[in-house]
Chains A and B, each alone.
Chain A
Amino acid sequence: GENVEQHPSTLSVQEGDSAVIKCTYSDSASNYFPWYKQELGKRPQLIIDIRSNVGEKKDQRIAVTLNKTAKHFSLHITETQPEDSAVYFCAASYEGKLIFGQGTTLQVKP
């Protein structure tokens, strides 16, 4: 089955800096890659997603890139703000279901 690896497990940046989280997946049949943000005590919220026929997608300060050949995708957050502090999960769609990475705890220091 599908396996999703996510790095780093923790990431600390200064406010205004950029943050990058990387994920790799194992099954080349996966074709949809969402990213979720989970604040403490809350449900995961979809923040951006990308399909396999697209290499990059942007939404304001957030962007996701996909390299199908290498089977990896990344989340880029620019001009980070303290409210970006949360746990971020990547996922890959496999046989109609989402398999999640291990999560990255992002801390943005003011």
Chain B
Amino acid sequence: SAVISQKPSRDICQRGTSLTIQCQVDSQVTMMFWYRQQPGQSLTLIATANQGSEATYESGFVIDKFPISRPNLTFSTLTVSNMSPEDSSIYLCSADRGRGEKLFFGSGTQLSVL
């Protein structure tokens, strides 16, 4: 398994501001992903964080709103830009060593936008 540290664990932000979430894995991993979990809902994949290239975004998510970095094989960031109350969710970083298999999650970031 992989140990994934994510921070901040929670934040309360003002509308129109941006928040950057950090994700650190204790070992090199092939794949890193960012998920959103809205209150009482399932996990929705935002994007795949690719090392050394742009992230691959799922339908409904765009780079301008959710810029992602992955400078190396153990670290990634997700920025939630120009936030609105609709962005209030839990954001989860995840990682695995294969092709989306044996996925492990960080502890999540509980974001509230006022």
Contact = CB atoms under 8 A, between A and B. Distances in A.
B31 A96 contact: yes
A20 interface: no
A59 B45 CA distance: 28
B92 A93 contact: no
Contacts of B31: 96-97
Given A43-B107, A46-B104, A97 B45 contact: yes
A100 interface: yes
B89 to A, nearest CB: 14
Nearest to A1: B59
A99 to B, nearest CB: 7
A98 B99 contact: no
B94 to A, nearest CB: 8
A44 B105 contact: yes
Interface of B: 31, 33, 41-45, 48, 59, 92, 99-108
Given A93-B100, A98-B103, A99-B45, 6 more contacts: A43-B92, A43-B106, A96-B48, A97-B45, A100-B43, A103-B42
